[in-house]
Amino acid sequence: MSPDGIRARAKVLGAMRRWFSDHGYLEVPTAVLVPSPALEEHLHAIPAGGGFLRTSPEFALKRAMACGLGRIYEIGPCFRDREHGAWHRREFTMCEWYRAGGEPEDVMDEVESLVRAAAAALGVREPGPWRRTTVATLFAEHAGLDLTLTTARDLSGEDESWDDAMMRRFVTDVEPALHGAVFVADWPASQAALARVRDDRAWPVATRFEAYIDGVELANAFHELLDAGELRARFEAANRARVDAGEAPHPVDERLIGAVGRMPRTTGIALGVDRLVAALMSWDGIGAGRVE
């Protein structure tokens, strides 16, 4: 914690709220204590008060989208257990926004614009130009692998799942090579989470992207799944994976499943505010802007 760090964080939060207001977004507050915390099996929620502290405001904001709100956002605290380090905390600040009718490329444009506004508020040089690339392209460049043809053993030489092996190589070989500002799109379909899957290319991919600044993951965006039946199947598959790993299943959020079928075509994104401030200030972690 430092006074300058806290001031920098306040400048970025002010710039972000001005940006959202200028771009027609409505701020929507949602509950921090929730009945179901996440779909993804690798997210570990913190139990509280007969429910969970939210891992993100995603489920509630999607229900708001289903009510007919076209552009919404929230900035607030989120919680994930078993996360600690220079760039991780159990409690952190998330900015999440959704726009009806938007394509992933539109949200990439918004990220560039929002980051530019935050950099201006801090009086620092904005990152960029932003590169737009794909997971498969980066694996070919930095690991010498055709991701569409590799097996788990090709990726790691270990007896583990393909997704675990792929992420291990991404963290060790690809992330350290992501210099500057980069959007990484077309993740494997098996890592879709709540994103739509597109199968019109060489291999099925999730229509999602992640944003990086100098190898630090800043944001994760989905072209949102609108099929309630598919969402239920993904909940069930994720819970089977959690049980197989010795973890308790997450409650299925029936309100979310009911809302997804009513949502318009939507793109949504979650951005780590603490990481944004730290990346723009060239800090080596997120601690300077927080009071802990």
Identify the pLDDT of residue 270: 98
Of the candidates 128, 119, 74, the one whose C-alpha atom is nearest the C-alpha of residue 276 is 119
Side by side, the strands of the sheet bearing 51-53 are 33-34, 51-53, 46-48
- Residues 148-172 have a mean pLDDT of 89
Residues 6+ apart with CB under 8 A from 212: 175, 178, 181, 182, 183, 184, 218
Confidence of residue 1 (pLDDT cuts 50, 70, 90): low
Instruction: Classify domain 3-289 by CATH number.
Output: 3.30.930.10
- What tens digit of pLDDT does each residue of 73-105 get? 999 999 999 877 788 899 999 999 999 998 999
For the stretch 193-231, what's the b/e string if a residue is b when 16 or more beta carbons lie within 10 angstroms of its beta carbon? Answer: bbbbbeeeeeeebbbbbbbbbebbbbbbbbbbbeebeeb
**Look-up of token digits 């078993």:** 82
Phi, psi at 185, each rounded to 5°: -110, 175
Give me the torsion for CA of 47, 49, 55, 56, rounded to 10°.
170
Whether residue 72 is predicted with pLDDT greater than 90 in this model: the reply is: yes
Distance CA 12, CA 3 (A): 14
Percent share of the chain, pLDDT over 90: 82
Distance CA 269, CA 97 (A): 6
Confidence of residue 21 (pLDDT cuts 50, 70, 90): very high
Identify the pLDDT of residue 83: 76
CA atoms within 13 A on the CB side of 80: 20
The rounded Cα 249 to chain-centroid distance in angstroms is 21
- What tens digit of pLDDT does each residue of 218-276 get? 999 999 999 999 999 999 999 999 999 899 999 999 999 999 999 999 999 999 999 99
Q: Please state, as a whole number, how many other Cβ atoms lie within 10 Å of the Cβ of residue 248.
A: 11
Kindly report the pTM of this predicted structure. 0.94
- What tens digit of pLDDT does each residue of 46-61 get? 999 999 999 999 999 9
The tokens of 175 are what?
A: 């992330």
